[in-house]
Chain A
Amino acid sequence: MHIMPDTERNASKSEKKVIDSGSLPPDKERRLCAAGIKRDIILIGALIATGLLIVLAVWLFSGKGQIVEVRVDGRVTARYSLSQDMTVRLNGEGGSNLLVISGGEAFVQDADCPDKLCVKTGRISRQGQSVICLPHRLVVEIKGDAPVKTDDIDVFVK
């Protein structure tokens, strides 16, 4: 009954050595504040910088798309031009989504899926962006104007 698994015991042993700001004596806590906060700021700063770099990379490498491609269950069912305003009802599996193309942006305005994540995804206009409706197995993706390869079949796992 009193046997503790080895790993667990080691973990709780090493626990003691680790600086733990939760409940330290006041002097130790103060020292941690002075010495430790610098490292924290550096790490958080690095994380923010990396995030900004990612945003920049996404911005740079994904130009405005030209084509709105609709796929149901991995098969391309329709392609529309992004520059032509239109509203079209897409029939996915077990339901439909209302796709609107307007002002060089595409978005799903309405859908009868339970989660409505496709509606909440919002407007897309850049190459590689997509609106996905998993319940209907529907993907709306922005493509560039280069000839589109269609042999990359997407796999959906529900």
Chain B
Amino acid sequence: MKEKRRSALIRKTAAFGVLTALALIFSYVEAQVPAFFAFPGMKLGLTNIVVLIALYRMGNVSAMTINLLRIVLVSILFGSFSSFVYSMAGGMLSTAVMMLLKMTGKFRPVTVSIAGGVSHNIGQIIAAMIVMSTSGIVWYLSVLWFTGLLSGALIGVLGSIILSRLPEKLFMGGKI
């Protein structure tokens, strides 16, 4: 019994590390192609795949922790203070919203991801309004609202496909 739990913990720790590293790489890759979209602040949000998978396979706390770690690491490695503030506001709000929606158990991952994408951009706009102390950019929400929806949908579809192919027990221990 003890042995079983131990192996489950080891597996979970390893999965945690792998997912964090993957989130970090996605962030980096995305930062390298900042401008393939028409609007600043518009991103595909590849890291959200990792957060989505962590959310459904490892639980709320793990998903939140992985995202938090990712944001802190990316900011230390390649970011600036302002990018830290923006990713923090967006990342935490979207993860929180996704957590809550998932916990209701009434929505499928695609929808959860769409809501996450939108709330990510809401968080960023709020942060920008505070940092630049201007409400003038609130109009920009009209653009980012829909880019968030779109990227959330894309990531949600991708994430669902990956989720349906990943064995449920993969990250939690037990027989695969």
**Which of A's residues lie within 8 Å of B, judged by CB?**
1-2, 4, 7-8, 11-12, 14-15, 17-23, 32, 36-37, 39-40, 43-44, 47-48, 50-51, 54-55, 58, 62, 115-117, 120-122, 126, 128-130, 132, 134, 141, 152, 154-158
Contact = CB atoms under 8 A, between A and B. Distances in A.
A156 B172 contact: no
B128 to A, nearest CB: 9
Contacts of B33: none
Nearest to A115: B34
A51 B163 CA distance: 28
B35 A115 contact: yes
Contacts of B34: 115
B40 A32 contact: no
Interface stretch (B18-26, B43-51, B66-74, B137-145): B137-145
A96 to B, nearest CB: 19
In terms of DSSP, what is the predominant structure of the interface of chain A?
helix
A39 B149 contact: no
Contacts of B102: 18
Contacts of B134: 130, 152, 154
A36 B145 CA distance: 24
A4 B114 contact: no
Contacts of A7: 61
B111 A11 contact: no
Interface in B83-108: 85, 101-103, 105-108
A61 B107 CA distance: 35
A116 B81 contact: no
A121 B141 contact: no
A43 B111 contact: yes
